[in-house]
């Protein structure tokens, strides 16, 4: 039995983006967003696998069985709308006004998913495989999303050769920036416990505040590095100091602070956590109390070195937008940090200026242009790697 020759299907990126936005998938809710996407992909011949972890819907879809496997990764979940009344129109109505699509997820990043689906629809035949790795948990704690899917796929021996993540990476104009790496991030909750007492009788108390001040000064005094190829210098910020003492004549029992470090590949999260803990121990020497730090690594720094894969993306973006994108490592963390464990990752998507804001929006023309760029990317990718 022969299967019918594949034909190109027309999927309108803007209409699909609207259909996805109309599913109010605020993390961890899915609200039918994954089903909407899955139906489209099944129609395009993809084998779809739902991978549910905890309450989170994830989807891995693949068309083709051979290598190279080019994967598009993204998320269907969105951040809360914030002040509902401040929106020009209902955030889940997906209204188009004067050529601009409004809605939560319009930029980050339902339109990018729709654009990639529309691009794939135009390429019914290709060597190798195309896959989608889509999570419903990127904007939340990100514990049951991409990280778990990547672990499961790796355990099965699934091979992804290269990955493009559809986060909104453009800075001012579509195509002016792609991200080839991200800094790592670590948060530390520092607690110093002493003993409460009267300020006039300090020998009967143990004041935690000077100990906390010593810890923070030591942390802030260290120059972490002078930068790393393609990266800004690592930076530590003290984000809060809390004692909450309302009395003028009382030495408080405890003092707390929190710091965040954004670090380049010159550091590993674990080493920074060890250092923070060591500074706490040092400051607590001779103190009649305790100083400790609870460190949580949100993500390690990673870099996809410029080369064949980034060349494909730069050329495709230039084809569609007329702009040669800057290769950047700025900005916050994204799920690319988990996928980097499998293969080289580059992120490219819409202009991010209104993401997470009231009236998140994108000109519909840019959604179509993004679909053109993704189409050029897929074609150039298989020409270069298949």
Q: What are the catalytic residues?
A: 77, 138
Write the CA distances from 87 to 20, 104, 344, integer angstroms: 18, 10, 38
**The dihedral sign for the CA sequence 74, 25, 296, 158:** negative
Contact 108, 352 (CB under 8 A): yes
Q: How far apart are CA 40 and CA 121, in angstroms?
A: 9
Nearer to Zn ion (CB atom), residue 167 or residue 300: 167
Residue 166 Cβ vs Zn ion, minimum distance, rounded to whole Å: 8
Q: Are 302 and 181 in contact (CB under 8 A)?
A: yes
Phi-psi region of 258 (alpha: psi -120 to 50; beta: other; left: phi over 0): beta
The nearest distance, CB 89 to Zn ion, in angstroms, is 22
Q: Give me the least distance between CB of 108 and Zn ion, in Å please.
A: 4
Nearest approach, Cβ of residue 152 and Zn ion (Å): 21
User: Can you point out the beta strands (E) in the chain?
Assistant: 47-50, 58-63, 69-75, 96-97, 100-102, 129-135, 162-165, 177-179, 181-182, 184-193, 197-198, 235-242, 250-251, 254-263, 290-299, 302-303, 326-328, 345-347, 361-363
Q: With respect to Zn ion, which residue has the nearer C-beta, 109 or 118?
A: 109
> Which is closer to Zn ion, CB of 108 or CB of 144?
108
Using rule CB under 5 A, residue 347 touches Zn ion: no
Kindly identify the residues of this chain, within the stretch 148-177, that bind Zn ion according to CB under 5 A.
167
- Please give the angle made by the CA atoms of 348, 353 and 361, to the nearest 5 degrees: 95
Whether the upstream peptide bond of residue 68 has omega within 30° of 0, thus cis, is yes
Closer to Zn ion by CB, 194 or 299: give it.
Answer: 299
Alpha-carbon distance values, 41 to 48, 71, 133, 166, 177 (Å):
8, 14, 12, 17, 28
CB of 368 to Zn ion, least distance (A): 20
Min dist CB 352 to Zn ion, Å, is 9
Beta partners for 192?
Answer: 255, 291
> By beta-carbon distance, which residue lies closest to Zn ion?
108
**Only segment of 103-111, 156-164, 182-190, 273-281 that touches Zn ion (CB under 5 A):** 103-111
> Applying CB under 5 A, does 109 fall inside the site for Zn ion?
yes
10: tokens are: 């027309």
Is 366 a binding residue for Zn ion by CB under 5 A? The answer is no
The answer to whether 21 contacts Zn ion (rule: CB under 5 A) is no
Smallest separation, CB 197 to Zn ion (Å): 49
Of the candidate spans 32-40, 102-110, 203-211, 259-267, the one that interacts with Zn ion by CB under 5 A turns out to be: 102-110
Under the binding rule (CB under 5 A), the answer on residue 57 touching Zn ion is: no
Per rule CB under 5 A, is residue 137 in the interface with Zn ion? no
Q: Residue 84 gets which letter from DSSP? A: G
351 part of the interface to Zn ion, by CB under 5 A: no
Maximum separation of any 2 CA atoms in the chain, in Å: 93
Task: Count the site residues for Zn ion by CB under 5 A.
Answer: 3
Q: Looking at 57, 77, 108, 161, which residue binds Zn ion (CB under 5 A)?
A: 108
17: contact with Zn ion by CB under 5 A: no
Q: Quick one: 109 or 115, whose CB is closer to Zn ion?
A: 109
The answer, yes or no, to whether the previous bond of 109 is cis (omega within 30 of 0) is yes
Q: Which stretch binds Zn ion (CB under 5 A): 101-109, 221-229, 234-242, 367-375?
A: 101-109
- By beta-carbon proximity to Zn ion, the closer residue of 38 and 146 is 146
3-class DSSP assignment, residue 38: helix
Residue number with CB closer to Zn ion (57 or 108)? 108
Residue 117 in contact with Zn ion, rule: CB under 5 A: no
Number of CB atoms found within 10 A of residue 209's CB: 16
Binding site for Zn ion (CB under 5 A): 108-109, 167
């Amino acid at each position: 039995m022969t299967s019918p020759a594949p034909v190109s299907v027309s999927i309108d990126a803007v209409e699909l983006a609207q259909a996805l936005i109309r599913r109010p998938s605020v993390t961890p809710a899915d609200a039918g967003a994954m089903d909407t996407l899955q139906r489209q992909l099944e129609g395009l011949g993809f084998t779809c696998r739902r991978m549910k972890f905890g309450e989170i819907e994830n989807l891995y879809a693949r068309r083709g069985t051979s290598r190279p496997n080019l994967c598009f990764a993204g998320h269907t979940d969105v951040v809360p709308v914030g002040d509902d009344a401040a929106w020009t129109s209902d955030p889940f109505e997906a209204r188009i006004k004067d050529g601009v699509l409004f809605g939560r997820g319009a930029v980050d990043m339902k339109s990018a998913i729709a654009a990639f689906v529309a691009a794939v629809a135009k390429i019914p035949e290709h060597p190798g495989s195309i896959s989608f790795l889509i999570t419903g948990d990127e904007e939340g704690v990100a514990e049951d999303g991409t990280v778990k899917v990547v672990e499961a796929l790796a355990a099965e021996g699934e091979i992804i050769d290269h990955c493009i993540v559809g986060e909104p990476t453009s800075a001012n104009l579509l195509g002016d920036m792609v991200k080839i790496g991200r800094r790592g991030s670590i948060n530390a909750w520092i607690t110093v416990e002493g003993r409460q007492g009267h300020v006039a009788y300090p020998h009967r108390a143990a004041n935690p505040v000077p100990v906390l001040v010593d810890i923070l000064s030591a942390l802030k005094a260290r120059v972490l590095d002078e930068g790393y190829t393609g990266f800004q210098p690592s930076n530590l910020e003290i984000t809060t100091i809390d004692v909450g003492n309302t009395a003028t004549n009382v030495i408080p029992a405890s003092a707390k602070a929190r710091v965040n470090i954004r670090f380049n590949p010159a550091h590993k999260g674990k080493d920074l956590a060890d250092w923070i803990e060591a500074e706490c121990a040092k400051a607590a020497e001779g103190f009649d109390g305790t100083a400790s730090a609870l460190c949580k690594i949100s993500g390690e720094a990673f870099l996809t070195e410029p080369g064949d894969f980034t060349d494909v993306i730069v050329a495709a973006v230039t084809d569609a937008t007329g702009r040669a994108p800057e290769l950047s490592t700025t900005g916050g963390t994204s799920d690319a940090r988990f996928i980097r464990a499998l293969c080289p990752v580059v992120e490219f998507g819409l202009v991010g200026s209104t993401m997470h804001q009231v009236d998140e929006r994108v000109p519909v023309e840019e959604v179509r242009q993004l679909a053109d760029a993704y189409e050029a990317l897929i074609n150039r990718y298989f020409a270069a790697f298949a």
